[in-house]
Chains A and B, each alone.
Chain A
Amino acid sequence: MIEQISNPHRIATDLAAIVGSAHVSIVGDTVAVVPENTEQVSSVLRFCNRAGFSVSAVGGGTKQRWGTPIQSKIILHTRRLNALLEHTWQDMTCTVQAGCTWSALQNSLAQHGQFVALDPLWPDRATVGGITATNDSGALRLKYGSLRDLIIGMTIVLADGTIARTGGKVVKNVAGYDLHKLMIGAFGTLGLITEITFRLHSLPVHLKSFTIISPAAEPLGSLLLQLLDSHLNVQSMQLRTKGDVFGLDVQLSALPEVLKDQTILLSAIAHKAELSIEEACAELWDNRVLSFTGSDVFTMKATMLPSDIARFTRIIHDLGGTAVTQATGIMTASLPVTLEHQLPQLRQQFIDAQGSFTILQQPASTDVDLWGPMPDSFSLMQRIKQHFDPNRTLNPGRFMGGI
């Protein structure tokens, strides 16, 4: 690999030849480039890869603090790749460029009463590509699955500029590897996503939310399992800390007649457990965004089995933190900075319960282990990185284990 003089001005000139000078700018020691299509992304990456410059892609910049902090030479902005390329509503699929914001995408799809069944954080700013690279998911996951269930195809650009398509435009497709699954949650370390094809669902119309309060987490945990085992049309369910008490939020989605019956059933179940139940507003389904506010907190994503949700919620609460956990077993929590030295022990509890514990954001003053111990498949992950990005051009060091 040829060593280049990494003078930003020199780099900017070279990149301007690809995207036009209006779309290149120097920011301190780094160069920002804004390509307009997949081909330009490919040319930019090929150039950077050959020259030995590291590249980080940025969409809405909402999750810049997630993962290990790195400073790449080139910042590739995806904002010009923002078109909804295709919405075949009769087939219930769509293809969108990665730089499109989530809200813009959903607003377009809503015109035919459809949506991508995912509720990510900061939808007005976060882009399809960034949401996918971080595998964000929310309350809708219980009913609709995650990005790996909703994405049916992708166009990616590898570090050496190779443009590859994976999957296709049909939901049912077992031809070849599901490469797009590998890209989901990979923090941009294997390739740059430029287009995604989604399977769509009809927008749910009749919804009702409820909150059941309890001074203890365990009764709500039992109720959660009971509801998972029931025939109620539970679209979303989450258990959270609520000041000194705990709340179980339940959202039912069904035809109006069915909704009426199920509301009565749900109330009966709550009363049988001697818990109070109230109707609630839809905003509480975005509750997890609160874990990201405040500069003196650790924000974590933890995973567990549903039967452990109450126990871990109580543990976080007793430590002085806040947590909201989806019935799928995915917790978003915040812990005060004073708990820095208890994190390893806390992490071990989750691991012992067959779950995981990742710190997404940490205060500026700390430097803790974000990822925890590496899984036994880690060397396989390293080999995959080696085959996809041997020069470590894409987000080097951003992901777990220094990948």
Chain B
Amino acid sequence: MLSSTVIAELKSAVGADGVIVERNQLQTYECDGLAALRTIPAAVVLPRSTAEVQALVKICARHQIPFVARGAGTGLSGGALPDAAGIVISFARMTRILDVDIPNQRITVEPGVINNHVTQRVAPHGYFYAPDPSSQTVCTIGGNVAENSGGAHCLKYGFTTTHVLGLEVVLPTGELVRLGAPALDAPGYDLAGVFVGSEGTLGVATSVILRIVKKPETVQVLLAAFDSISAAGQTVSDIIAAAILPSAMEIMDRLSIRAAEVSVHPNYPDCEALLLVEVDGSSTEVEIQMQQVRAFCKANGAWEDRLAQSERERMLVWKGRKAAFAAAGRIAPNYIVQDGVIPRTKLPIILEEIGRMAEETGLLVSNVFHAGDGNLHPIVLYNASIPGQEEIAIDLSMRILHRCVDHGGSITGEHGVGKEKQQAMGYMYSEPDLDTMQRVRCAFDPQHIANPDKLFPRPRLCGEKTGPYHPHPLETAGIAEYF
């Protein structure tokens, strides 16, 4: 609970209509896309400007109140999950596009701007904003920055960090700084580079300078049906070995195809593995490369292929893939979607392992993945009303992530660590690795109030030294305990 003094200060900073303290209104903010984890915050604030954001963070710094920023709340790892004693800084009222510079291929936006709106704004000039998470019609740039969001097209175009040139950031200390710049290689440490993907633990962005990309002349998507995942996977390998860089390559398994069909009716062929390959570039280039891609599909036994050439046809093909997670809700009462990465060549092995592990638990796992970069999304299907099944599902999803790490991969390719995978960080990284990252955190947030209970398995007290254990002064004084 926040004291009346603090609430008064918050109201002074953003106006009375910018502060929510009523419980039933606060409930809207109790979770993000990871609905299993819910906590009602002490207050929600809705600033309208950088100055207001800075005032809010200064209040938090003064009173040591934990805070977390929130965009659309579509995150899948609990990154926007509030602290019960903390506040949520919602960017719902900071949705302006501040500057558009087409000749220099840059656009500056407030963090509450929806991802897809950036593309819409620059499309008339023949440009687009490349990172395209499946939630792009809803999710915001601020959230994309926090998670370093990817999407299907990051194989060719890179991630959010590739497209963020600079940011204005309010640090957890209340300082307002500029990280990066409109021009490349701002002198000094690459603070923008470490800030993107830091999941709200290093501060709050209040404006972001983004890079936009020229829309390619031609885009085509090929859909190919295979009798096995390994045949589809081999096709992907052949395409890459031929030095073709498609703009996207996706594979869906039988279960996820069926779910998508029930949900949005993309009319996919009913097969064991569906491969989507998108190629873009100049017309001649796309013609030649698509021919090669088709040949590889046939050589690996594709028994049907369809080429989508018009914008409308393409959208329909992608509709099914982009609805894949939500579609899972059609074939099972509950699901957990995971986000592991493995070296691309290990794809057949990990899928076989997932199949085996799933069978052992008696649960179904459908698979959708970004085949080009080895980022898989196993969707564990279960029924929460059956006692114990949710625990089994969570455990299975975590064991899948551990296997990804064992194969030289990562626990998260795009959804972030958040709350959900904080313990798994300890599986992927050693103590010295985590400790080194925490040094960065302490430099930005010495009081540990920026989205504090996320990302790392154990918060490091910022005065800690590494090496043999030395009691912290607070412990020696009997004020704190070391868990």
**Cα A135 to Cα B190 with chains together (Å):** 10
Shortest Cβ distance from A337 into chain B, in angstroms? 23
For residue A254, which residue of chain B has the nearest CB?
B285
The 9 closest A-B pairs by CB, nearest first: A181-B193, A202-B243, A164-B436, A172-B413, A303-B183, A387-B439, A383-B443, A173-B410, A377-B177
Contact across chains for B184 and A178 when beta carbons are under 8 A apart: no
Contacts of A231 in B (CB 8 A): 214, 216-217, 282
Contacts of B415 in A (CB 8 A): 174
Q: How many angstroms from the CA of A39 to the CA of B182 in the assembled complex? A: 40
Measured CA separation A281–B162 after assembly (Å) = 31
B472 contacts A by Cβ under 8 Å: no
Whether A356 contacts B103 by the Cβ 8 Å rule is no
B414 pairs with A258, CB closer than 8 A: no
Asked if A178 and B150 sit within 8 Å, CB to CB, the answer is: no
Q: Are A172 and B410 in contact (CB under 8 A)?
A: yes
Which B residues, 58 to 97, have Cβ-Cβ distances below 8 Å to chain A? none
Stretch at the interface among B7-15, B134-142, B312-320, B336-344: B336-344
Known: A90-B241, A145-B162. A182 touches B413 (CB 8 A): no
A375's partner among B103, B187, B342, B425 (CB-CB below 8 A) is: B187
Interface: A190 (CB within 8 A): yes
Q: Are B341 and A381 in contact (CB under 8 A)?
A: no
Residue of B nearest to A173 (CB): B410
Q: Which of A163, A165, A168, A379 has the most CB of B within 10 A?
A: A168
Give residues of chain B (326-378) contacting chain A, Cβ–Cβ below 8 Å.
Answer: 341-345, 370, 373-375
Mostly, the A contact residues are loop
Segment touching A, from B34-42, B253-261, B426-434: B426-434
Residues of B within 8 A of A330 (CB): 184-185
Distance from B143 Cβ to chain A, minimum over Cβ atoms (Å): 13
A381 touches B189 (CB 8 A): yes
Q: A158-B436, A172-B375, A371-B187 are in contact. List 15 more A-B contacts (CB 8 A).
A: A137-B185, A146-B184, A164-B436, A174-B197, A174-B412, A176-B417, A177-B194, A177-B197, A182-B189, A231-B216, A254-B285, A258-B288, A303-B185, A356-B186, A380-B443
| Interface residue from A174, A356, A386 paired with B183 (Cβ < 8 Å) | A356
B444 contacts which chain A residues (CB < 8 A)?
Answer: 380, 383
Whether the pair B187, A372 counts as a contact (CB closer than 8 A) is: yes
Chain B residues proximal to chain A, CB less than 8 Å: 101-106, 126, 147-148, 150, 154, 158-159, 161-162, 171, 175-179, 181-191, 193-194, 196-198, 214, 216-217, 237, 240-241, 243, 245, 281-282, 284-285, 288-289, 341-345, 370, 373-375, 408-417, 421, 425, 428-430, 432-437, 439-444, 455, 466-467
A140 to B97, CA, bound (A): 31
B233 CB, min distance to chain A CBs, angstroms: 11
Does A85 sit at the interface, judged by CB under 8 A?
Answer: no
Residues B103 and A171 in contact, CB atoms below 8 Å apart = no
B156 CB → nearest A CB, Å: 11
**B209, closest chain A residue (CB):** A354
A304–B285 alpha-carbon span in the complex (Å): 32
Contact B440 A179 (CB under 8 A): yes
Whether the pair A162, B193 counts as a contact (CB closer than 8 A) is: no
CA–CA, A228 to B436, complex, Å?
40
Instruction: List chain B residues, Cβ under 8 A from A380.
Output: 171, 175, 177, 191, 443-444
Enumerate 8 A-B pairs (CB-CB under 8 Å) in ascending A order. Answer: A90-B345, A149-B162, A170-B374, A172-B154, A257-B284, A358-B187, A371-B187, A381-B188
Tell me whether B185 and A185 are in contact (CB under 8 A).
Answer: yes
